[in-house]
């Protein structure tokens, strides 16, 4: 937690693995889940500034295999494309997804494109009409980054975001490549009063909507960089931090890879949470007050929401309550 740009609380609790038991460290690398989306959006913004694409481009300019009309890059960024959920599609058509073992074939982004092209599930609404959160859109954005930049998505983020910012413990992980991490954290789920492994999934080769691993240290470097023009110009960031306005819905609470709401003081806050398998994560940036909260966890505890709410209260010198924890847990 940082207040006025300075870290005021930074602690680590628990373990990163059970077999063997490994204690969490300050630089333990957590799966970020949907917190990844802000990095995918940044890659698109960087390519836009370099003249490689426009937000108004039809996605078929880069993904000609797709049968969908009138969907733009901006629609993908703001979750207003109407595209169906690729996970539902894979559960219906991808081998034996219910057997979620390491023997099941791992899917990748190109498989998502192929599946959409082959089965052509209908859009849920006219592109641009309303907001509906879409992991599919951000998977396609990662594919667009790869094709527009003519380089793999994981390499683009490494070379253009992580390395320039000194985010040395951050990477886009894929089960297919089996990228190595010195301080990798493994996910667990709560089952009664026991924690059971919950880290592998046959969709772990798909990136863009998720896939980034990082640390609290690295995410704070990311936070600091977003107050500068080191990656993109301030005008580009201003546009990214504006809520989208769908045709039939009015103003949303989402920009480019960030939810947008207000702090307890009524000022602007950018945030995004993540949840995939055993991981629950959050980054909250009160950009007009320069306050930051980063929470990374590797279990499915039902108390995480209450903990995050208490942290927000503490940061603003407001009364807070501890979560009420069942005696069995």
* Cα 293 from Cα 283, distance rounded (Å): 6
What residues form DSSP beta bridges with 194? 191
Locate 275 and state its tokens.
């949840």
28 is an active site residue: no
Tokens describing residue 144: 């667009």
Other CB atoms within a 10 A radius of the CB of residue 111 amount to 18
Integer Cα distance of 311 and 102 in angstroms = 38
Joined together, the tokens standing for residue 164 give: 């320039």
- Give the residue ranges of DSSP H helices in 51-108: 73-77, 86-93
What end-to-end distance do the CA atoms of the chain give, in Å?
26
Q: String of b and e for 155-167 (b: at least 16 CB within 10 Å)?
A: ebbbebbbeebeb
* CB of 210 closer than 8 Å to CB of 32: yes
Please say whether the beta carbons of 72 and 55 come within 8 A.
yes
Catalytic residue among 16, 28, 34, 214: 34
Whether omega for the bond prior to residue 20 falls within 30 degrees of 0, making it cis, is: yes
Task: Report the catalytic residues.
Answer: 34
């Amino acid at each position: 937690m940082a207040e006025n740009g300075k870290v005021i609380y930074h602690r680590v609790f628990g373990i990163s693995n059970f077999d063997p038991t490994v204690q969490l460290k300050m630089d333990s690398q957590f799966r970020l889940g949907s917190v990844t989306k802000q990095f995918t959006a940044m890659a698109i913004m960087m390519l836009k500034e370099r003249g490689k694409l426009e937000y108004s481009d039809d996605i078929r300019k880069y993904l000609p295999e797709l049968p969908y009309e009138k969907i733009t890059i901006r629609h993908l960024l703001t979750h207003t494309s109407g595209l169906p959920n690729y996970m539902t599609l894979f559960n219906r058509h991808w081998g034996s997804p219910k057997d979620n073992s390491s023997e099941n074939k791992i899917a990748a982004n190109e498989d998502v494109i192929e599946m959409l092209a082959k089965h052509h599930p209908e859009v849920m609404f006219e592109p641009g009409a309303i907001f509906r959160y879409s992991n599919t859109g951000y998977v396609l954005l990662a594919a667009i980054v790869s094709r527009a930049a003519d380089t793999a998505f994981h390499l683009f983020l490494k070379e253009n975001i992580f390395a320039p910012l000194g985010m040395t413990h951050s990477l886009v992980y894929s089960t297919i490549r089996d990228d190595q991490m010195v301080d990798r954290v493994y996910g667990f789920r709560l089952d009664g009063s026991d924690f059971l492994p919950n880290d592998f999934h046959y969709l772990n080769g798909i990136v863009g909507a998720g896939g980034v691993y990082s640390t609290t240290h690295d995410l704070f470097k990311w936070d600091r960089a977003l107050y500068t023009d080191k990656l993109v110009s301030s005008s580009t960031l201003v546009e990214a931090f504006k809520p989208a306005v769908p045709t039939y819905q009015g103003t949303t609470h989402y920009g480019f890879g960030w939810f947008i709401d207000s702090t307890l003081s009524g000022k602007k806050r950018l945030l995004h949470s993540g949840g995939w398998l055993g991981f629950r994560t959050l980054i909250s940036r009160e950009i007009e007050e320069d306050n930051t909260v980063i929470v990374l966890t590797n279990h499915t505890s039902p108390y995480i929401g209450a903990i995050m709410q208490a942290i927000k209260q503490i940061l603003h010198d407001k009364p807070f309550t501890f979560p009420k924890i069942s005696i069995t847990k």
